[in-house]
Amino acid sequence: MEKKNNEHCKVDSWKIGELIMDSGLKYAQPSTQTGRTDVNSLTNWNVPLVWEGTFDPLVIDDIYKKMDPRVAVVVFAVGKYTRFLKKFIETGEKYFLVGFRVTYYIHTDRANEVPKVELGKGRNITIVTVPSATRWQDVVLGRMKWATLTIEKTINKEADYLFMMDIDSVFHNRFGAESLSRLSAVLHRGYYKNTPRDSFPYERRPLSKAYISAGEGDYYYTAAVWGGYLEDMYKLVKYCYEMSEEDAKNKIEAVWQEESHLNRYLLYNKPTKVLSPEYLWSDYDKVPGDIKVVRISQLVKNYAEVRPNGGQ
Ligand code: UD2
């Protein structure tokens, strides 16, 4: 993205290295001796792996609120998926970066079905019209194209951080400033516990741009929640778009669409924060003991009924 001036991206001018906190804030003293011992809270490239119990919400919110970032949430509700908007936004208002400036960029072909939801101070909805689709795969992958265009047209002047999220999910608990970093990715709930890397559902066909060979891989990340600095996210969303276009030229579609391209990118361009599956669980699955808090959960849905071309 061409930078016209420094105005559109406040991130550059933040004193990132200076984690400034208010004096007089009352919070529990951090310990060097106690913490989560049931899970690993660092990656092998030494960035945080965020779980409940690894941060103090009071401290982290105080620090990040000083920066007063503008956060864009890009979601798609195409076809019957508009039915998920109300709960997503209502619960987002209750739990997602509460007290921060947030704009939901709702991409839809049914603008008249976007519900009226009461929003907190400094929070907004922007509706972006996109075409209808006949294949769900085209919506899922098309998100990369349309998000690229919306960032170039509007978001680049309006946000410092950007999250991409699936709409068929509900917030249940705090999703706060501990999630913010240059590039934050969420561990997929299905593969975070001792799954050998060769069993990850990476794209395994060398013809695809998303190809990852056997013997490689750190984690398997979900494409349902990912976020970071606007500029880094722009680069990554555009990368997924361009790689899927390359694949289309070669008459191949990556096995998990943009999620496959995302996983390849993040293997060689490591995220600066990894978020535990607390940041995207699923109502399909029981909650295990190491997930102390479910922050967002994907809803159970009737794929055949809700998608334009039927089920999986
Ligand atoms: C999984 C991933 C999703 C994506 C997809 C790729 C999870 C929780 N989600 O989702 O991020 O990688 O696989 O195959 O692992 N949508 C519409 N209209 C449609 C179809 C999709 O608006 O007709 C949008 C909507 O925002 C939805 C998202 O695309 O939340 C993902 O589609 P999905 O929920 O049908 O795909 P799913 O559950 O297989």
Nearest to 148 by CA among 237, 230, 78, 236: 237
Please report whether residue 32 resides in a domain.
no
Which residue has a Cα nearest atom 29 of ligand 1?
A: 140
Write the CATH number for 172.
3.90.550.10
E runs forming strands in the chain: 49-50, 70-77, 101-108, 123-129, 161-165, 169-171, 183-187, 221-229, 273-275, 281-282, 296-298
- pLDDT of residue 138 exceeding 90, the answer is no
Calculate the CA 102 to chain-centre distance: 14
Task: Kindly give the distance from the C-alpha atom of residue 222 to the centroid of ligand 1, in angstroms, as a whole number.
Answer: 11
What is the per-residue pLDDT for 50?
98
Which residue has a Cα nearest atom 10 of ligand 1?
A: 224
Please report whether residue 16 resides in a domain.
no
What is the per-residue pLDDT for 17?
54
Q: Which domain holds residue 269?
A: 40-300
Which residue has a Cα nearest atom 3 of ligand 1?
A: 224
What is the per-residue pLDDT for 14?
55
Task: Kindly give the distance from the C-alpha atom of residue 303 to the centroid of ligand 1, in angstroms, as a whole number.
Answer: 10
**Between 217 and 3, the higher pLDDT residue:** 217
What is the per-residue pLDDT for 309?
82
The 10s digit of each residue's pLDDT in 253-301 is 999 999 999 999 999 999 999 999 999 999 999 999 999 999 999 999 8
Task: Kindly give the distance from the C-alpha atom of residue 214 to the centroid of ligand 1, in angstroms, as a whole number.
Answer: 26
Nearest to 129 by CA among 148, 150, 115: 150
Contacts of 276 (CB under 8 A, 6+ apart): 39, 49, 50, 51, 186, 187, 192, 291
Whether the CB of 257 sits within 6 Å of ligand 1: yes
Please report whether residue 18 resides in a domain.
no
**Between 15 and 99, the higher pLDDT residue:** 99
Please report whether residue 163 resides in a domain.
yes
Tally of domains in the chain: 1
How high is the mean pLDDT of the chain?
Answer: 93
If one counts every other C-beta atom within 10 angstroms of the C-beta of residue 197, the result is 16
pLDDT band at 19 (very low <50, low <70, confident <90, very high): confident
Task: Kindly give the distance from the C-alpha atom of residue 140 to the centroid of ligand 1, in angstroms, as a whole number.
Answer: 6
Catalytic residue among 178, 231, 258, 259: 259
What is the per-residue pLDDT for 304?
87
What number does the ligand 1 atom closest to the CA of 78 have? 22
Whether the CB of 221 sits within 6 Å of ligand 1: no
pLDDT band at 16 (very low <50, low <70, confident <90, very high): low
Q: Please check whether residue 205 is in contact with residue 212, taking contact to mean a CB–CB distance below 8 angstroms.
A: no
Does the annotation mark 178 as catalytic? no
What is the per-residue pLDDT for 308?
84
- Among 81, 132, 140, 203, which residue has the most ligand 1 atoms within 8 Å of its CB, making it the best to mutate? 140
- Among 75, 88, 166, 266, which residue has the most ligand 1 atoms within 8 Å of its CB, making it the best to mutate? 166
Task: Kindly give the distance from the C-alpha atom of residue 152 to the centroid of ligand 1, in angstroms, as a whole number.
Answer: 23
Which residue has a Cα nearest atom 28 of ligand 1?
A: 166
Whether the CB of 281 sits within 6 Å of ligand 1: no
Please report whether residue 14 resides in a domain.
no
What is the per-residue pLDDT for 7?
45
Please report whether residue 77 resides in a domain.
yes
What is the per-residue pLDDT for 234?
98
**Between 230 and 14, the higher pLDDT residue:** 230
Of 88-102, 125-139, 196-210, the range with the lowest mean pLDDT is 125-139
Rounded to whole angstroms, the Cα distance separating 228 from 1 reads 15
Whether the CB of 175 sits within 6 Å of ligand 1: no
Whether the CB of 78 sits within 6 Å of ligand 1: yes
Task: Kindly give the distance from the C-alpha atom of residue 279 to the centroid of ligand 1, in angstroms, as a whole number.
Answer: 16
What number does the ligand 1 atom closest to the CA of 298 have? 8
